[in-house]
Amino acid sequence: MMCEGLGGRLSLFQVRANSHVDDLRALLEHLGIAEAYVLGLSMGGEIAIDFALACPHMTRALIPVDSGLGGYPLPPDVAASLESISTAARESGVEVAKRFWLDHPLFKPAFEKPDVASRLVRMVSDYSGWHWLNEDPVCDLDPPAAQQLGSITMPTLAIVGERDLPGCHEIADIVEHNIADARKVILPSVGHMSNMEDPDGFNQMVRDFIESL
């Protein structure tokens, strides 16, 4: 079953195979949650934006954090670095790719905090590497989110770590400038893993936004 707002002609099999939006919708319905404040970090932020477009009736507010954006191209250097990780996984094995992934500039600020670094290493060590080795059959919005942001009407808070990569700041700016009821806020002194690097500051920022609605 496709959620209202998903464009394109996609078969039922394709959507069930790998649709992050439909997975989130199904989870909320299973839990009996009719509306939610939808927050996601990094790729999760991209999914949150897609969900707000596809299921606006279920999205009370939108909070993309250090977010990606469907249809917005990665900066060439970032795209090349991510492709090199996938290449390493295919040619040298997943464990080698994991070491390259942990060395990525995305995580440099996080590794300055030993407790965050140890949790990040544990998270990556638990990852199977599937997306590096396989073609992901994910169902994307059509047209992509970058072309539809103007239709988002719910309150939106785009959070980005001060030390995150420039591309994430650009996406937060695009969200702020194209969604009528949106604003960008910067969490000081942290990078891409802003919720882990400064959990107290992050939680207060989210709490203040929700309480203001």
Span 117-163, pLDDT tens digits: 999 999 999 999 999 999 888 888 999 999 999 999 999 999 999 99
pLDDT at 3: 42
User: Is 149 a domain residue?
Assistant: yes
Of 99, 115, 133, the residue at which a domain comes to its end is: 133
DSSP strand E in 18-81: where?
36-41, 59-65
Nearest to 156 by CA among 71, 40, 78: 40
Task: State the chain's maximal CA–CA distance in angstroms.
Answer: 51
Q: Which domain holds residue 86?
A: 76-133
Q: Greater confidence, 100 or 8? A: 100
Of 105, 133, 161, the residue at which a domain comes to its end is: 133
Say whether both 67 and 84 belong to one domain: no
Span 74-113, pLDDT tens digits: 999 999 999 999 999 999 999 999 999 999 999 999 999 9
User: Is 206 a domain residue?
Assistant: yes
Say whether both 52 and 154 belong to one domain: yes
Residue pair 141/50 in contact by the 8 Å Cβ criterion: yes
Separation CA 62–CA 1 (nearest Å): 23
User: Is 56 a domain residue?
Assistant: yes
Q: What is the domain count for the chain?
A: 2
| Residue 135, token pair as written in the block | 């073609």
User: Is 4 a domain residue?
Assistant: no
Separation CA 15–CA 26 (nearest Å): 12
Long-range contact set of residues 197-202: C-beta below 8 Å, sequence gap at least 24: 197/109, 197/110, 197/113, 197/116, 197/161, 202/65, 202/159
